[in-house]
A and B are shown apart, each in its own frame.
Chain A
Amino acid sequence: MMGPVLILGGRSDIGLAAAHALAKRGHPVQLAARNVQSLSAEKADIELRYNVAVSLHEFDALDVAGHEGFVDGLDVLPQIVVCAVGVLGHQAEDQRDVEAAAQVMRANFEGPASVLAVLANRFEARGSGTLVGISSVAGDRGRATNYIYGAAKAGFTAYLSGLRNRLAKKGVHVVTVLPGFVATRMTDGLDLPPKLTAEPAEVGEAIALAVEKKRNVIYVKPIWWLVMAVIRNIPEAVFKGLKL
């Protein structure tokens, strides 16, 4: 029997795509989201397609005090966790409004880090499990147009790297996903370059493969590795003058 996969941010297009890819391989699914009852159509869909059980769990990433209780409330401790929680924010407004900026940082970093801490400890005690965190290439270098989101993702990326290092010898594996552009609800209305943009299903499949193959850090479209290598290597003196 395969153990379940827990999707944190179960309404996310990427999270759902990961649920499909892993359910296809036989994993039961635990969908965790705010207002989770509205995901009953997703539950029926996944059950029908893959003949696996799907359970729904109320979850708010910002309710850090509730995270121990949330994990206790799961019917079984999952084998795999995919954290797809995130908000893009609105840079122009958030840079003027500290409270709004804090919300973006909390949803992308503090909340995910908190719930993964609880799960990491349980996995460590059990001696097995895989944690998948969806971070972003935006965290590789801060840019004027999205550095609040980017900074939070940078924190999350570092956090995942630290968890991986800590748990490497404890039977627990950590995957960092840096998806590049993905055509989801988050990016609706943005004019994304088609060659650099992945479909959620591609990301879901890449996540399932990364879990199977115990990959550490994945870029979904290989081209992004190159793009980011270039961006990271531009000297700061030049970088600060660029419009990106």
Chain B
Amino acid sequence: MMLSGWGRFPYQNCRVTKPTTEAEIAARIAEGRLIARGNGRAYGDSALSTTNTVDMRRFNRMIAFNGNSGQLVVEAGVLLSEVIATFLPRGWFPAVTPGTKFVTIGGMVAADVHGKNHHRDGSFGAFVDWIDLMGADGVVRRCAPDVEPELFHWTLGGMGLTGVILRVAFRLRPVETAYIRQTTIAAANLDDAMDVFEANQDATYSVAWIDCLSKGASLGRSLVMLGEHASPRDMGYPKRNTPYLVPVKRKLAVPMDAPAFALNTLAVRAFNAVYYRQGLKKAGTELVDWDGYFYPLDGIENWNRIYGRRGFMQFQCALPLANSATGMRALLEAISASGQGSFLAVLKRFGVQSGHFSFPMEGYTLALDFPVNAKTLALMAELDRLTVQNGGRFYLAKDSRMTPYTLRQADPERVAAFVKMRAETKAGAAFSSAQSERLGL
């Protein structure tokens, strides 16, 4: 069947199976190269294999929860949305979450996802106690920071290329309410925004929306959003009595392949409205429910259709701290000069990162969307070049078009070590995706 990632580019004709037992997965491995697929939220071709795409969503059982430590054990196909629905009412929330809740726990491990708290808490892997992984030989191994540590650290961020993740034990964090106290700060330009990030290193969550249309002295004009888990004291009555309850909202849906321009324009208008309102005060604080705060896009079903049939790509890079100011400026200048891409981009401060192949590095990360066409492809190649020039690297979960050469320029040692590990463990011959083939991983 024709299959793609979230960006609907590229599509490939994939053989897809949906096993229900571990024996069936082992049989698939014996058939030849395969890749595991979670909920298809990686943007590009990370979870596509023409010969053998193994849909893991039937492995969707929760196994155990420890109410003292917050440790939850699940099968890899359980969705993060189900974890939240089950445990938020009991006072627990994911310690790290990406910007959509419609990801599987297996996918979160494979991409070692980061959230708005990376600068403080690190990536998802920091909260993973162990992983059960089926390797090239069909044998299931439990790996953890102190058991088979190499396998553990390569699997985090390993994009499914070390084996099939069957089960994961990870820790949730206790929360007192379902709300976030959000403080919004208007930053006049990039330097200003980075100063706000640096001054707020102890904020639990931080992220900025950048206006990509801004130029010159206001290049990088942005809204920096800081967040803290609210306590019942922050809430008025009667809400305070039901701190985990959030009123149900209507879901919007993108009916057909709606134009990106319309939505983009709307987003920029909203940005400007908040920006000017914020500019008048020092900082504004409000209570936002968890869904609106962490997953604003999840409220719009199928928003990936806005770029039309040809689909879209996301660009996301991370730059080391020392080069972040100059590097981000260069990237934003290239984007604003081109007039291509989404009108808003996301900027975020990363903290230190462990893990052998995970994406984050201490510094800053920038992410934005592009429709698929010749102009944007050329622009993205330029953004690649600027990223490499500034010692940065790229997020494989967002990539659909990078060249193997760029990847090696950006990350020579880690890529070489990854390929060597894959050869030594025989994982290279058993697990491959369209992306790993394109990138020569």
Contacts and interface: CB of A to CB of B under 8 A. Distances in A.
B20 A49 contact: no
Contact of B62 (A45, A185, A188, A191): A45
A44 B18 contact: no
B61 A45 contact: yes
A185 B61 contact: no
A205 B33 CA distance: 37
A237 interface: no
A185 B65 contact: no
B338 interface: no
B129 to A, nearest CB: 17
B403 interface: no
A185 B20 contact: yes
Nearest to A189: B17
B64 A44 contact: yes
Main secondary structure of the interface of A (DSSP, over half): helix
A48 B20 contact: no
Contacts of A44: 61-64
Contacts of B82: 49
Contacts, number: 21
A41 B61 contact: yes
21 contacts: A41-B61, A41-B63, A42-B61, A44-B61, A44-B62, A44-B63, A44-B64, A45-B61, A45-B62, A45-B63, A48-B62, A48-B63, A48-B64, A48-B65, A48-B86, A49-B62, A49-B82, A49-B86, A185-B20, A188-B18, A191-B1
A35 to B, nearest CB: 13
Given A45-B63, A48-B62, 10 more contacts: A41-B61, A44-B61, A44-B64, A45-B61, A48-B63, A49-B62, A49-B86, A185-B20, A188-B18, A191-B1
B381 to A, nearest CB: 34
Interface in B1-51: 1, 18, 20
Contacts of B62: 44-45, 48-49
Contacts of A188: 18
Contacts of B20: 185
Interface in B63-94: 63-65, 82, 86
Interface of B: 1, 18, 20, 61-65, 82, 86
Enumerate the 10 nearest inter-chain pairs by beta-carbon distance, A residue then B residue, closest first: A45-B61, A48-B62, A49-B86, A41-B61, A45-B62, A48-B65, A49-B62, A188-B18, A44-B63, A42-B61
A185 B17 CA distance: 11
A20 to B, nearest CB: 10
A50 to B, nearest CB: 8
Contacts of A48: 62-65, 86
B76 to A, nearest CB: 13
Contacts of B63: 41, 44-45, 48
Between A41, A45, A185, A191, the greatest number of chain B beta carbons within 10 A of the residue's beta carbon is seen for A45
Interface string A16-57: 000000000000000000000000011011001100000000
Nearest to B17: A188
B52 to A, nearest CB: 14
Nearest to B61: A45
Contacts of A45: 61-63
A123 to B, nearest CB: 31
Contacts of A49: 62, 82, 86
B40 to A, nearest CB: 14
Between B18, B61, B65, B82, the greatest number of chain A beta carbons within 10 A of the residue's beta carbon is seen for B61
Nearest to B63: A44
A41 B61 CA distance: 7
A18 to B, nearest CB: 16
A45 B62 CA distance: 5
A109 to B, nearest CB: 26
A191 B15 CA distance: 12
A191 B273 CA distance: 47
A74 to B, nearest CB: 24
Nearest to A13: B58
Interface in A180-212: 185, 188, 191
A45 B65 CA distance: 10
Nearest to B18: A188
A112 B163 CA distance: 42
Contacts of A41: 61, 63
A44 B61 CA distance: 8
Nearest to A48: B62
A39 B65 CA distance: 19
A109 B247 CA distance: 43
B305 to A, nearest CB: 13
Contacts of B64: 44, 48
Contacts of B86: 48-49
